[in-house]
Structure 1
Amino acid sequence: MTMIAELRRQFADWIGTVAETIVRTFARLDIKPPIQLIETERNLFVVRTAARSGRSAAPDCQVRLTGDAPGVAPLHEHWQAAMRGSRVELMLLPDRFLTRPLDLPRRAVEFLDAMIRSQVDRLTPWAADDAVFGYTSPAETSGDRISTTVIATPKTTLEPLIRMVESWRAGSIVLFASREPALPPANGQLASDGVTKLMERHFRGSLDAARVSRVLTAVLLAAAAMAALSMTTMSMIGGGLEEQERQLTQKISERRAALRLEGGDTTALTGLVRRKQQDAASVVLLEALSRILPDNTYVTELRIDNDKLHMVGMTQDAPALIKVLEQSPHFTHATFFAPTTRSADQAGERFHIEAAIKPHSGLGI
C-alpha cells in the first residue's frame, strides 16, 4: 500500500510539473503585460501597467474599495479592456498581515511547505484552511538551522478584493505581501526581495496549473484505458485467429492425406494395382497354354488384348481345343472367330480361336 501511495504521489508531482510548465509557456506567449494593483492606503489602490519597449504605459488610476464593491472611481474604458483576461498582481500593505518568525532545522527545507502549513494554527489565530499564508525565503543561521518569517491573513479580508478583480473579468490574481508600505517603481516586477508571494487564483475560463493537471490526468487515464482495451481486444482477436489458423492447418493436413490416397497423383498407381489384382499375367497365361495344349498343336500367332485371348495355329483336332480351353480355370467362352481350314500340303487343320480370360491365382491344367 505504501508503494502505491508513493507512486501516486510521484505521478501527481510529475503531472503538476508538466502543468506548471504548460501554464508558464502560455503565460510567456501572452502579449498582455501584467496589471499591478498596489495598495497605498487602506482600501485605496493604484492601478498601473508596466511600460514595454516601444510602447508607452497608460496613466495610473486609483480605485477605492468601499465595503464589498469597487469604489467611487470607476475604471476607465482603457483599463476595463486591459483587465479582461490579464494577470493582476495585488500588493497589500504590511499591516494587513500577521508575521511570525520560525526557526527550523536545515533539513526542513525539503518539506518546508507541509511543515509551515502544519504550524499555521499554532503561530496564528486561524486554521490553515481559513487563512492565506506564505513565508520568506529561508536564511541559514548558526547551528545548522534556518530561519524564515511566516506571513498570514484571514481569507475573509481578501474576498472583497478578489471579487473586485473578478468583476473586471481578469484572468488571474496574484497576492503579494510587501514589507514596506512604499509604491514600487513601474517596472512590472513586484516579486522582489521585499515582496512575498502568498496566493495565486485563476478565474473561470483562465488557464491554471490545477485545471491543466486535471485535464492531463484525465487524458492520461483515458489513454491508459484505451491502451488496455486495445490490448485486450487484440489478445482476444489474436486468440481467435490462432484457433482459426490451427483448425485451418488441421483441415489442410487432412485434405492432403486424403489427396495422397485418392488424388490424381496416385490414379495411375491405383489403376495398376487394380489391373494387377483383376487381370491375369501374360506369363501365367502362356504357362497355362503350354500345359493344356496337345503336343500336336502349334501356335503361330498369339495376342492378348485386355481380357481376350486370340490364338492362331495348326492342330490335328481343332474342336478339341475348344473343350480344352473351357476346362481350364484361366479361360472361358472359347470359340472360333474364323473358319477352320485344311490344306493339301499341311498335315493338320489351321484354327482361329478366341477366349475370354478369367483371373486365377493358380496355374491350372
Structure 2
Amino acid sequence: MIADVLTWWSRQMLELVPARFARPDPSAVGALLVEPYPRGDGIRLVRRQAGEETVLGDVPLRRNGFGDTQDTGVATDPDGTLDADDDAGLRTALSAAGANGAGGMVLLRLPAGTALQRDVTLPLAAEAGLDRVLAYEMDRLTPFAADDIFFSWAVLRRDREAGRMQLRLSLVPKAPLLPLLETLRSAGAGPRAIEIRGASPGSARPLRIPLAHERPASARQERRLLLMAGGCCAMLALLAIVLPFILQSVAAHKLDRQVAGLQPRVDAVQALRRRIAGSTAGGDLVSTERRRLGDALGVMAAVTRVLPDDSYLSDFTLRQGVLTISGQSPGAAKLIPAISSDSAFSAPAFAAPVTRIEGQNTDLFSIRAGVTR
C-alpha cells in the first residue's frame, strides 16, 4: 500500500511540472531514422536535429528481402543515393550519414498501419509491473506470444474506485523485422526503438515501441522519484526515532551544566546543615545531662542567694542531683532553714558534725541537699 501511495504521489508531482521544465525526449532533439523500403531491398536515412528532419539519402540493399547479401561494393551516387551491399559497406554508409554523430540514437521508422493496437483492462495493482503482467498475459490478449512481438503500452485512464485501469497495447510482429535489425546491428547501428507516425488517433506524437524492454524515461523518472520519496520517508522515520533521544541528551547535558554551576551552593548548604545538626545534637546532649545531673550554674546561683553574706564556701560538689557544700559561717545552724526555704533544694541536712573554731566565733559546716531542678 505504501508503494502504491508513493507511486501515485510521484506521478501527481510529475503532472504538476510545467512542460517547459520537463525533460525533452532525446530522440525528438537528435536521432538517425532508418526507414525500410516496402520491398525490403533498401533503407532511407533521415537525420532529425532540433526537431527538424533532413533526408540524407537512400541505401539500396541488394538482397532478397532482408537477408542474403550480394557483393557489389559501396558507392555514393551523384544524386545523393548511398549504396551498400555488405556489413562493411553499410557501416560506412551509416557513418557517412552521421549515425555516430546521433549520439547512438537510431530509430527504425515504420509506416502508419504497421502496429496492431487494442485496449486492455487490468487491475490497478498491476501498474507497478506492467512489463511482466503484459508479457505473461500476451498470448491471452493477442494471437501472439510475448517473444514474437515488440510491444508497448499507454495508460488511458485509471478508475481508483473500481481498482482498474485501461491501457492501449501496441505491438509489431518481430519476424518481418529481424533480418533488417540483424543487418543494422552487425553494421553497428542497432535501433533502440520503433517509431510509427499516426498510430495514435488524435495524437501528434509518434508511437514509440522499444526493441529491448527497458523502462520508459517517464517510468524511470517515476522510479527515481519513488526511490527519493522512499529515502525521504526513511530519513523522516529515522529522525522521528532518533530526535527524542537527541533532545533528551541535549536537555540532560544542559541540566548537568546547571547542576555543576549550583554544586558549590549545594555543598555550602549541606555543610551548614551538618553544622546545625551537630549544634543541635550537642545542645540536646547538654540538655539531657542537665536534666540528669542538674544545672550547676543554676544551683550555684540558688546557693549564693540563700546563704547569708557572712558565710562563704570552701567546697562545692554537685553529683547525680545531690549537692554537697562545705565552708564557714558564724551561725551554721541557721543555714539548714535558709536552704529549705528555697524550692530548688530538698531535704537539706548536715553531712558532718558542725565544728566551732576557737577564738574566731566561726563554725565549720558540711551540708548535703537534693536538687529539684
TM-score normalised by the chain length of structure 2? 0.48
TM-score (norm 1): 0.49
